[in-house]
């Protein structure tokens, strides 16, 4: 076994609080079929007004089910009210209009902030939406049908980046703001023009049994973005996304500083492919994150995407907030460039003077990764260490073939956090820097091709407990 450098050895320990979840129940009441409100279903005439009239009529009766039974319903923005379930049955499609003029901006004051630099506001977090709710209770989308975001109608071709967005677009496609008791279940969503599902400052959310198929070449076509929300359960999702699959954020979109935290979140039973990150926290981290579980997840490279994930698991705290009590367990990763990226940085978005936050109490367990090309990294900053990081039952097989390195790894304190940010790393499997309280137990770091670097490099790591760590080059196939 090759050696690695450790400055101080010791014992690390930590406690982790369980993450709670609450499940929103579907409202029970009458049914308002949009056909009774003369909603055209030919996919050519706008059905927005008729669908909204059905929603408003149903809400006036105390709530119920608004039904799209069959056909294609072309629509701009529709707004859900209290106690409304939008039920799209198999054989029915809610299709986003290709004209941005058919959408109502929420909030309207954000329209001047839309940038024309290859993306819209906050790279997908804009004011136009297909389905929207603000301050609503007991709302749901279900039924087994399809929502089509018509994304390509809003993109421009670019010879280098496939598609770019230089015009306003309906993104996030589905956005619920300051709402509670939300359920999105048994629905297929495809071709979002940007972000797909975005609960913002909301609570008691269940997203289950959804299939999301977005264009891999599309800009910022994230699947699920959970933003300053709590008591969230995401389960049994099948995702192909052109950006990130499941992301937790605290964007500060509504202006509050610091924004509300994201907490009590469980993401389980997800199969996903992305050209960027699989599961992610950040990069927008203006508010705190705590009590989060990612469990039973498969991250892979779908052949429809032009490349595999740049990082399968990416957790970063770079805008001054606190990050604590996170478990990532039972994950299988295939053909992601970097299996694991954990970062405390100091970008300082939303701060007059950037000041690092804190990151503590993270457990990675029972993770298998193959086909990676860039070593995983766990990094803090000088004087601002990560605290209490555990890796248990980890098996990473990298491609290997690298040469020994002597160049220093840059700190890159204020850079955008992503796995390739440091350039080549001095380890073939895992690089750890500026950490206090590192526990590694039953960790295997291997390469397919012989590699001139050690599998594991520790730099400025204190209070480490290393047990049953192995490395080797695999024999040629």
Residue 172: pLDDT over 80: yes
Residue 204 inside a domain? The answer is yes
In a domain, 450, yes or no: no
Cβ atoms 70, 89 nearer than 8 A: yes
* Residue-level pLDDT at 22: 40
Exposed, middle or buried: residue 403 (CB in 10 Å: 0-12, 13-18, 19+)?
exposed
371-392 pLDDT, tens digit per residue, is 999 999 999 999 999 999 999 9
Domain count, the chain: 1
pLDDT of residue 447: 97
Task: Give me the pLDDT at residue 475, please.
Answer: 56
pTM of the model: 0.92
Which helix (H) or strand (E) segment is 316 a member of?
Answer: strand 311-317
Sign, Cα dihedral of 338, 339, 342, 347: positive
- For residue 159, count other CB atoms closer than 10 A to its CB: 5
Token digits of residue 386: 């990560």
190 in any annotated domain: yes
Count H helices, E strands: the chain?
1, 32
Residues whose CB falls within 8 Å of the CB of residue 185, separated by 6 or more in sequence, listed in order: 140, 141, 142, 206, 207, 208, 209, 210
Residue 477 falls inside a structural domain: no
**Two structure tokens written together for 400:** 């290997």
SS3 308: coil
**CA–CA separation, 289 and 452 (whole Å):** 38
Structural domain containing residue 105? 15-233+245-260
- Across the range 397-401, mean pLDDT stands at 97
**Domain assignment of residue 283, yes or no:** no
Residue 162 in domain: yes
Neighbour-count burial of 144, counting CB atoms closer than 10 A to its CB (0-12 exposed, 13-18 middle, 19+ buried): middle
Specify whether the CB–CB gap between 194 and 175 falls below 8 A.
Answer: no
Containing 358, the helix (H) or strand (E) segment is: strand 358-372
Across the range 256-268, mean pLDDT stands at 96
Q: For the segment 305-355, what is each residue's pLDDT rounded down to a tens digit?
A: 989 999 999 999 999 999 999 999 999 999 999 999 999 999 999 999 999
Within a domain: 122 = yes
**441 lies in some domain:** no
- CATH at 65: 2.160.20.10
- The answer to whether 115 and 141 have CB atoms below 8 angstroms apart is no
């Amino acid at each position: 076994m090759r050696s690695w450098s450790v400055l101080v050895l010791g014992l690390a320990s930590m406690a982790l609080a369980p993450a709670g979840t609450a499940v929103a129940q579907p409202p029970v009441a009458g049914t308002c079929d949009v056909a009774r409100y003369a909603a055209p279903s030919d996919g050519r005439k706008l059905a927005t007004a008729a669908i909204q009239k059905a929603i408003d009529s149903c809400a006036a009766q105390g709530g119920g089910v608004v039904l799209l039974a069959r056909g294609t319903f072309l629509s701009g923005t529709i707004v859900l009210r209290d106690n409304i379930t939008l039920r799209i049955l198999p054989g029915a499609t809610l299709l986003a209009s290709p004209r941005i003029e058919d959408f109502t901006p929420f909030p309207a004051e954000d329209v001047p902030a839309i940038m024309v630099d290859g993306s819209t506001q906050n790279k997908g977090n804009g004011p136009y939406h297909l389905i929207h709710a603000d301050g609503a209770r007991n709302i749901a989308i279900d039924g087994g049908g399809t929502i089509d975001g018509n994304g390509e109608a809003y993109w421009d071709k670019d010879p280098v980046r496939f598609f770019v967005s230089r015009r306003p677009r309906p993104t996030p496609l589905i956005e619920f703001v300051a709402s509670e008791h939300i359920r999105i279940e048994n629905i297929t969503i495809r071709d979002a023009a940007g972000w797909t599902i975005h609960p913002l400052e909301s609570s008691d959310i269940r997203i289950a049994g959804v299939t999301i198929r977005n264009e891999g070449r599309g800009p910022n076509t994230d699947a699920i973005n959970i933003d300053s929300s709590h008591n969230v359960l995401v389960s049994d999702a099948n995702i192909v996304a052109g950006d990130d699959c499941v992301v937790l954020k605290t964007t500060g979109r509504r202006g509050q500083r610091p924004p509300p935290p994201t907490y009590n979140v469980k993401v389980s039973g997800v199969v996903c492919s992305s050209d960027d990150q699989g599961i992610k926290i950040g990069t927008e981290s203006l508010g705190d994150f705590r009590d989060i579980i990612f469990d039973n997840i498969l991250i892979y490279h779908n052949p429809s995407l032009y490349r595999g994930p740049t990082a399968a698991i990416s957790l970063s705290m770079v805008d001054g907030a606190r990050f604590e009590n996170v478990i990532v367990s039972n994950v299988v990763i295939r053909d992601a460039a970097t299996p694991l990226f954990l970062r405390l940085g100091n970008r300082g978005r939303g701060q007059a003077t950037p000041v690092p936050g804190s990151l503590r109490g993270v457990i990675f367990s029972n993770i298998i990764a193959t086909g990676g090309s860039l070593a995983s990294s766990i990094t803090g900053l000088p004087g601002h260490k990560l605290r209490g990081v555990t890796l248990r039952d980890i098996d990473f097989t990298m491609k290997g073939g690298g040469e020994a390195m002597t160049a220093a790894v840059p700190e890159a304190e204020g850079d955008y956090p992503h796995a390739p940010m440091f350039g080549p790393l001095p380890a073939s499997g895992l690089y750890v820097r500026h950490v206090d309280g590192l526990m590694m137990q039953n960790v295997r770091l291997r390469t397919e091709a012989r590699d001139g670097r050690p599998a594991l490099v520790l730099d400025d790591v204190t209070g480490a407990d290393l047990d049953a760590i192995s490395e080797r080059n695999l024999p040629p196939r």
